[in-house]
Amino acid sequence: MKVLVVGSGGREHALVWKIAQSKKVDKIFCAPGNAGIKEIAETVDVKADDTPALLKFAKANKIGLTVVGPEVPLVKGIVDEFMKEGLKVFGPSKELAMLEGSKVFAKETMKRFSVSTADFMVFEDADKAKAYLRKKGVPVVIKADGLAAGKGVIVAEDTREAEQAIDDILVKRIFGEAGNKIIIEECLRGEEASILIFSDGKNIAPLASSQDHKRIFDNDKGPNTGGMGAYSPAPVVSGKLFDEIIDSVFRPIINGLASEGRPYKGVLYGGLMITENGPMALEFNVRFGDPETQAVLPRLKSDLADIMMACIEGKLNELKLEWDDRPCLSIVAASKGYPGVYEKNKNISGLNTVRSIKDVAVFHSGTALRDGNIVTDGGRVLAVSGFGKDIKSARDTAYEAMDKIKFEGIYYRKDIGDKAIGRI
């Protein structure tokens, strides 16, 4: 079977790497891919959100399975377009991609199926929003409804900050149409965890738990990023709590949507806050996480192409997912200045040295090939994932390998996994 993976980040590199291990897959294409992906797949010069060009490519090349990495093509409806042409594609429909594409849609869906989540109200008018804010007080969380590249959530500790966020989104329109509506929601306290499941519309197969590190600096300081590192499993989600999350968050959503005649197929990512009162859903994503995927997929022993086909064909109940018991920890290296302005085109060295280290994999995020050299080409540049008998040795393996990779201005957090190690 030929597979097409859509996207160009570390998540897509990990997806391609894992799918390449399938005995049923003889060729993988990736559009548009990056320099790391190019080493194991044929990259195709088509943008991830150019659905007509992707469709044309898939038909011309008899692609047996298309896997969509990022949310934008899903929200634009790539799955519906491919299905209309009889092509197999892994991901939810356009309608259900709105679980990520619209926070209002997501919260209303959660409410309808009684999923535990923070109390909220929806506003289109800044004055009404501020009146509600005065009544509720701070801290409070303000969210733009639509996709805002991870910048649409403001956790406001004081009233001035909250009013500013309301004005920025509803009046100044800093997120454009993504800010036609906002949500004002109760601020939850606790530790965050990401749980992902596969679903074929009715059956659920959970992935191993993981935890991201969203802030740029050590000890969770500084601005939010796309994610600076992850590890799996997440000790904060112990066995009993994990089951509770599946039963109280995912089953109601999957069963509820099925009962409305719109089954959710693909991977569903729940961002959760583990509060004193139990797990609460913060958000849903309709895709794999980045960098969670780089820590989770190396632990998956089962055939990922089989799992994805089972999701599409409604046969997930016929599979049992097998996992490597060893923890995996992934560190992201970023360009100097990220998540603000950063430079590109810096030569990366050490990749060949790291290739020979046991229990380590490197996944490229923002890299490109220039004159035969691999250079930086993004804010997040690459992730180094390491295995260990426990989380501490996984961390040591990953950091030892990361030490060997160099480029001008390289930055990575030094505390990935520390919280998990502290907990054990």
Q: Which residue ranges make up the site for ligand AMP (CB under 6 A)?
A: 118, 141, 153, 155, 185-188, 192, 214, 271, 282-283
C-beta separation of 66 from 82 below 8 A:
yes
Say how far apart CA 416 and CA 401 lie, in whole Å. Answer: 14
Query: In this complex, which beta carbon is closest to ligand GLY, that of residue 227 or of residue 386?
Result: 227
Q: Binding partner of residue 33 among ligand GLY, ligand AMP, none, CB under 5 to 8 Å per kind?
A: none
Say how far apart CA 109 and CA 393 lie, in whole Å. Answer: 41
Say how far apart CA 369 and CA 330 lie, in whole Å. Answer: 23
- Residue 152 CB, nearest approach to ligand AMP (Å): 7
- Residue 144 CB, nearest approach to ligand AMP (Å): 10
Joined tokens for residue 130: 């501020």
Helix and strand tally (H, E) in the chain?
A: 15, 22
C-beta separation of 12 from 29 below 8 A:
no
Say how far apart CA 287 and CA 191 lie, in whole Å. Answer: 22
**3-state DSSP assignment of residue 313:** helix
Backbone angles phi, psi at 336, to 5 degrees: -55, 130
- Enumerate binding residues for ligand GLY (CB under 6 A): 212, 227, 285, 289-290, 292
Query: In this complex, which beta carbon is closest to ligand AMP, that of residue 275 or of residue 393?
Result: 275
- Residue 187 CB, nearest approach to ligand AMP (Å): 4
Query: In this complex, which beta carbon is closest to ligand AMP, that of residue 22 or of residue 194?
Result: 194
Q: Binding partner of residue 192 among ligand AMP, ligand GLY, none, CB under 5 to 8 Å per kind?
A: ligand AMP
- Residue 76 CB, nearest approach to ligand AMP (Å): 19
- Residue 337 CB, nearest approach to ligand AMP (Å): 22
Q: Binding partner of residue 289 among ligand GLY, ligand AMP, none, CB under 5 to 8 Å per kind?
A: ligand GLY
- Is omega for the bond preceding 32 within 30 degrees of 0, making it cis? yes
Q: Binding partner of residue 185 among ligand GLY, ligand AMP, none, CB under 5 to 8 Å per kind?
A: ligand AMP
Say how far apart CA 313 and CA 68 lie, in whole Å. Answer: 17
Query: In this complex, which beta carbon is closest to ligand GLY, that of residue 151 or of residue 173?
Result: 151
* Residues 6 or more apart in contact with residue 239 via CB below 8 angstroms: none
Q: Binding partner of residue 290 among ligand AMP, ligand GLY, none, CB under 5 to 8 Å per kind?
A: ligand GLY
Q: Binding partner of residue 227 among ligand AMP, ligand GLY, none, CB under 5 to 8 Å per kind?
A: ligand GLY
Query: In this complex, which beta carbon is closest to ligand GLY, that of residue 212 or of residue 377?
Result: 212
- Residue 110 CB, nearest approach to ligand AMP (Å): 12
- CB contact burial 189-205 (16+ within 10 A = b; e otherwise): eeebbbbbbbbbbebbb
Closest CA to 330 of 423, 216, 416, 225: 416
Q: Binding partner of residue 48 among ligand GLY, ligand AMP, none, CB under 5 to 8 Å per kind?
A: none
Nearest position to ligand AMP, beta carbon: 283
As beta bridge partners, residue 193 has 272
- Residue 109 CB, nearest approach to ligand AMP (Å): 14
